A and B are shown apart, each in its own frame.
Chain A
Amino acid sequence: MDSLIPFTTSGSLVDCVDRKMLVVLRDGRKLQGVLRSYDQFANLVLEDTVERIYHQDVFAELKRGLFLIRGENVVLLGEIDLDQEDDVPLRQVDWAVLEPYHRQEIIDKKHRDEAKAQILYERKGFCKEGGEGDGY
């Protein structure tokens, strides 16, 4: 077993404070910022947040500032390695250029997921999502 995650107290975010973190929200947004504080609901305070959108081998960034994110909307939190964060094999472009492509991608994904859910429901009896509309 490679990673032996040491358990200090119960799982907490104390080791993530004051570090640059990637937060993925349930609507599919990817935010990067410095985690300043959290609480028992995993509500997060993110400073100097940047929102990034991706499309194929291109990405775009938009500065967003100080965020208070309600914990239930967070999918995951990941620490960003400051040494490697600039090594991404992607090209940066302007937000305004990439945004239409990103929006179209979201619409396409939504159609695909709906079609999938419908087929699973009809053929296999899987229940459809209760309108949470998770976009990630």
Chain B
Amino acid sequence: MLPLSLLNAAQNKPMLVELKNGETFNGHLVNCDNFMNITLREVYQTNPEGDRFWKLKECYIRGSTIKYLRVPDPLLDLVKDEQTRAREAGRSARGGPGGGRGTYTNHVVWANTLTRFCYLRQRGATKRARCGAWWANTWRERAWTWRLKTTLYTSCVVRISSSSCGSSFCL
């Protein structure tokens, strides 16, 4: 993950900012932007020699004056977990194309697509069968559709249940 996204994810976390002139600011990050300009609250400012201290309620630091920022160690893992969680939530939420009712899981998506696929095939078939043997063709079509739906659905349900959650069922 990018350095600035790590910074964005560190909002409300304590950190130490050292400026180019050696001053240090210890405080909680309020906000930051793409220029690395930051606002901190509950700040303890120290001069470069380390012998003078100030307490500031809030401060704004221009990004160009920053030398580095020190953040708590667990932050990196925390942010990575948040990212993976957000990605998985986005993937499952994205799985319901139109008319989302309740929770859309991967096999509902599959069933929808299969139904649509079968319907389109059936439509094509019925169009072809319009001239001659109409009944026989559509019956065959219906039987095929039902068979296809059942086989494909059961096979993908088996696949879903055997593989881990969040496997890539991209459509």
Taking beta carbons and an 8 Å cutoff, which residues of A are in contact with B? 25, 27, 36-39, 43-45, 47-48, 64-70, 73
**Which residues on A sit within 8 Å (CB–CB) of B67?**
25, 27, 69-70, 73
29 contacts between A and B (CB under 8 A): A25-B68, A27-B67, A36-B76, A37-B2, A37-B3, A39-B2, A39-B3, A39-B4, A43-B3, A45-B1, A45-B3, A45-B76, A47-B73, A47-B76, A64-B70, A65-B71, A65-B72, A65-B73, A66-B70, A66-B72, A66-B73, A66-B76, A67-B68, A67-B70, A68-B3, A68-B68, A68-B70, A70-B36, A73-B68
Is B22 close to A, CB under 8 A? Answer: yes
**Residue of chain B at shortest CB distance from A132:** B20
Interchain CA distance A70-B37 in the complex, whole Å: 12
Q: What is the minimal beta-carbon distance from B166 to any residue of chain A, in angstroms?
A: 24
**Which residues on B sit within 8 Å (CB–CB) of A25?**
67-68
Closest 9 A/B residue pairs (Cβ): A43-B3, A68-B69, A69-B68, A65-B73, A73-B67, A45-B3, A66-B71, A39-B2, A66-B73
CB pair A65–B70 under 8 Å, yes or no, is yes
Interchain CA distance A45-B70 in the complex, whole Å: 10
Is B30 close to A, CB under 8 A? Answer: no
Is B7 close to A, CB under 8 A? Answer: yes
Give the number of chain B interface residues (Cβ < 8 Å): 20
B1-32 contacts to A (CB < 8 Å): 1-4, 6-7, 20, 22
B30-75 contacts to A (CB < 8 Å): 36, 63, 66-73, 75
Given known A39-B2, A47-B76, A73-B68, contact A68–B7 (CB-CB < 8 A): yes
Number of inter-chain CB pairs below 8 Å: 56
Interchain CA distance A47-B6 in the complex, whole Å: 12
Interchain CA distance A39-B6 in the complex, whole Å: 12
**Which residues on B sit within 8 Å (CB–CB) of A68?**
3, 6-7, 68-71
CB pair A43–B4 under 8 Å, yes or no, is yes
- Beyond the given A65-B71, A66-B73, please list 9 additional residue pairs across the A-B interface where CB-CB is below 8 A: A36-B76, A37-B1, A37-B2, A39-B3, A68-B7, A68-B69, A68-B71, A70-B66, A73-B20
**Which residues on A sit within 8 Å (CB–CB) of B4?**
39, 43
**Which residues on A sit within 8 Å (CB–CB) of B2?**
37, 39
Q: What is the minimal beta-carbon distance from B92 to any residue of chain A, in angstroms?
A: 27
**Which residues on B sit within 8 Å (CB–CB) of A73?**
20, 67-68
Given known A43-B3, A44-B3, contact A67–B69 (CB-CB < 8 A): yes
